[in-house]
Amino acid sequence: MVSRKLVLGLLGPVVLLAGCELIAPQPPQQDPVLEKLEDLERRLGALERVLASGTLIDLTVQVDDLQRQTAIIRGRTETLEHESEGTADRQRDLYVDLDDRIRDLERSMQSRPASVATGTGSMPGQLPVPNGTDRENYEAAFELLKQQQYEAAGVAFHQFLTSFPNSQLADNAQYWLAEAYYVTDRFEDALIQFQIVISGYPRSRKLPDALLKIGYSNYELARWDAARAALEQVRDDHADSTAARLADQRLKRMDDENR
């Protein structure tokens, strides 16, 4: 009997403790708001560490520097493009002005020069600088042309070509010989001489100009197909030249005139 009481006395507290454990409340679930706050705090802490390390600041400075450099390069590019366009415009204006002045001067001539040959044979006369170099004689002949002494200029250029056929200035001399005919309305003779520039000096820098004047000469002779063919060749084969732009202008004029 005593032993049963003793056992029951020992088991009572154990049972009581077990019951308490069974009915003990569960810990509450984490509040979603608190979770969000904790997440924001973690992210804020990460940003603070980045700022503390200076990495973000360095990146910002680098981006600003790149943007400044890009702006500088863009400005220089625009300046170069503007200067290039300005140079091309000035060249075109100078060319047009020279052509217009020569055309105006030709109308002031009272008669055509009688002693200038119409072909490629020799002409009477002598070099403007008989004992001079090819360059001296070329410059003297060109000076005659600028002074509107077209007959004398034609003679000088022809004698230059006879005396210095292998000169590096021969293609220029041939072109200006043709020009001496062109400015005095001798378009048939001019065509012959401009054609020599094409056939005799195929690598000359005067080639686009000679083709252009072939087109102009045919235009003045009312040979519309030949004029258009020459002008289109200038435009297509020498697209970046001033002569090509002038050829395009003349072609548009012909279109307006239904030529």
Q: What is the mean pLDDT of residues 12-29?
A: 51
- Residue 195 confidence (pLDDT): 97
Q: What is the pLDDT of residues 154-193, one digit of tens each?
A: 999 999 999 999 999 999 999 999 999 999 999 999 999 9
Nearest to 97 by CA among 251, 246, 254: 246
Q: 252 to each of 121, 131, 232, 255, 259, how far by Cα in Å?
A: 38, 48, 11, 5, 10
Give the N- to C-terminal CA distance of the chain in Å, as an integer.
143
Report residue 114's pLDDT band, with 50, 70 and 90 as the boundaries: very low
Angle between helices 134-146 and 150-163 (to 10 degrees): 160
- Of 233, 189, 225, 227, whose CA–CA distance to 207 is shortest? 233
d(C-alpha 6, C-alpha 15), whole Å: 15
- Return d(Cα 208, Cα 238) in angstroms, integer: 7
pLDDT for residue 235 is more than 80: yes
Residue 44 — very low, low, confident or very high, per pLDDT cuts 50/70/90?
confident
pLDDT exceeds 60 at position 145? yes
- Give the Cα separation of 248 and 257 in Å (integer): 14
Nearest to 247 by CA among 238, 186, 197, 256: 238
Task: Supply the pLDDT for residue 120.
Answer: 35
Q: What is the pLDDT of residues 63-83, one digit of tens each?
A: 666 766 666 776 666 667 666
pLDDT surpasses 80 at 237: yes
Lowest mean pLDDT among 4-13, 121-130, 184-193: 4-13
Give 30-79 as a 3 state SS string. CCHHHHHHHHHHHHHHHHHHHHHHCHHHHHHHHHHHHHHHHHHHHHHHHH
pTM: 0.55
